[in-house]
Amino acid sequence: MIPKLLAAVAVLLIHSVVLAQTRIGVHAGTNFSNVSWKQYSNKKSTKFLPGYQVGFTVTTPIKIYSRQLYIQPGISFSKKGFQQNYEDYLGNGRYKVTPYYIEMPVNLLYLIPNQTDKNVFVGLGAYFACGLGGQWEIRYNNVNGRFVGDIEYADLKDQGPPRFDIANEKFNYGKRLDYGINMLVGYELWRNLQIQAHGVLGLRNLAPPNNGVTGNEYFKNMGLGLSLGYLL
């Protein structure tokens, strides 16, 4: 499944590059990620976690009903996750879960007509993502304690047995592949420099399945971001 997704995006990028007026861009910025998490009818309390994203895009103009639109596929590396309050026998603190993703967004952009040299654009599209790993961290407030562990993407039947030392525990982020919706708005500062705000809403329930079957748990990615891009 993963090689097929990568191959499809690669073909789309190569096809776009050979078209006239196609522009390659690089971008980097910050993410503010969170999750929507429910177990049965109980909603887990989580907070946004800052992260980052870097990548590149290929932007190609197209015309639909005399409107100037742009198709923009891309690939990026993104640091996502969430954080929440934590308490155990050692005290209370902050629990952070930080997965790493390779993302493949495909957006349709519309350039809003105006009378100046500056351009405002809006976009809508979809993304596909693959989890590459990541880490969790517990940092206590009242003691000098910090624990760090790894993230796994596994079926519950394949999950490792519980350990007695918290430092070797793994957080099961569930399904490795994710997909959802992109929304963005941007502003062209100069001819080659752009600033862009975006939001992502995951549509796939990532909750760990048990023998291939997902129970009454719902776990979806979401987030906001701000990035700076340069068109080559």
68: CATH: 2.40.160.20
When computed from its CA atoms, the radius of gyration of the chain, rounded to whole angstroms, is 20
> Confidence band (pLDDT; 50, 70, 90) for 170?
confident
Q: Residue 14: is its pLDDT beyond 50?
A: no
Question: Cα separation of 149 and 135, whole Å?
Answer: 6
Q: Which residues, in sequence order, are CB contacts of 25 under 8 Å at separation 6+?
A: 56, 57, 58, 59, 194, 229, 230, 231, 232
* Averaged pLDDT for residues 127-156: 88
Q: Residue 186: beta bridge partners? A: 121, 196
The string of DSSP letters for 136-164 reads EEEEESSSS-EEEEEEE---GGGSPPP-S
Share of the chain above pLDDT 90, in %: 51
**Measuring CA to CA, which residue among 14, 12, 26 is closest to residue 231?**
26
* Averaged pLDDT for residues 197-220: 90
Count of domains forming the chain: 1
The string of DSSP letters for 171-222 reads EE---SEEEEEEEEEEEESSSSEEEEEEEEEE-S--PPPBTTB--SEEEEEE
Higher model confidence: residue 222 or residue 216?
222
Higher model confidence: residue 192 or residue 34?
34
User: What does the pLDDT read at residue 66?
Assistant: 66
Mean pLDDT of the chain: 84
* Averaged pLDDT for residues 136-158: 85
**Measuring CA to CA, which residue among 10, 33, 20, 29 is closest to residue 61?**
20
Range of the domain at 24: 2-231
pLDDT in tens, 72-123: 999 999 999 999 998 877 778 899 999 999 999 999 998 887 666 558 889 9
Predicted structure pTM score: 0.82
